[in-house]
């Protein structure tokens, strides 16, 4: 729906462990230990041990790397581009949440207080 906010917007997630990654028919959800949930509605890539691949693109392409995500800790968050958010985790694992400039929502972030951010 929009370009990503500044990188500093995401700093509260650094140091948090990923509790769960959920595979739905039309989305991917990543839940963090303090209750925040990032939902990919457009595209999600994953990288495990320097091998990057497309996991979700409106539907699941593969769930092969998903097993490597839980119990990893967020070590950095950066905007790889104005449309790609990189979440680097321990254990040589990274997630890449894609957004697009269109009328459609690409990423939802639900915070522990119940507030919702739509990108």
Distance CA 80, CA 66 (A): 21
pLDDT tens figures, 3-27: 787 766 778 899 999 999 998 889 9
User: Using one digit for the tens of pLDDT, what is the confidence trace for 55-94?
Assistant: 999 899 999 999 999 999 999 999 999 999 999 999 999 9
* The overall pTM is greater than 0.85: yes
Average pLDDT over residues 32-59: 95
Is residue 2 exposed (0-12), middle (13-18) or buried (19+ Cβ within 10 Å)? middle
Q: How many CB atoms lie within 10 A of CB 99?
A: 23
Residues in the chain: 119
Mean pLDDT of 29-45: 95
């Amino acid at each position: 729906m929009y370009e990503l906010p500044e990188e500093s917007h995401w700093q509260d997630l650094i140091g948090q462990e990923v509790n769960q990654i959920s595979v739905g028919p039309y989305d991917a959800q990543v839940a963090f230990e303090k209750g925040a949930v990032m939902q990919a509605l457009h595209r999600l890539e994953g990288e495990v041990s320097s091998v990057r691949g497309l996991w979700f693109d409106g539907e699941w392409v593969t769930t092969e790397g998903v097993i490597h995500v839980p119990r990893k800790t967020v070590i950095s968050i950066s905007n790889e581009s104005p449309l790609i958010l990189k979440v680097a985790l321990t254990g040589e694992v990274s997630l890449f949440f894609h957004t697009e400039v269109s009328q459609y929502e690409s990423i939802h972030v639900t915070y522990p207080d119940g507030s919702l951010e739509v990108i």
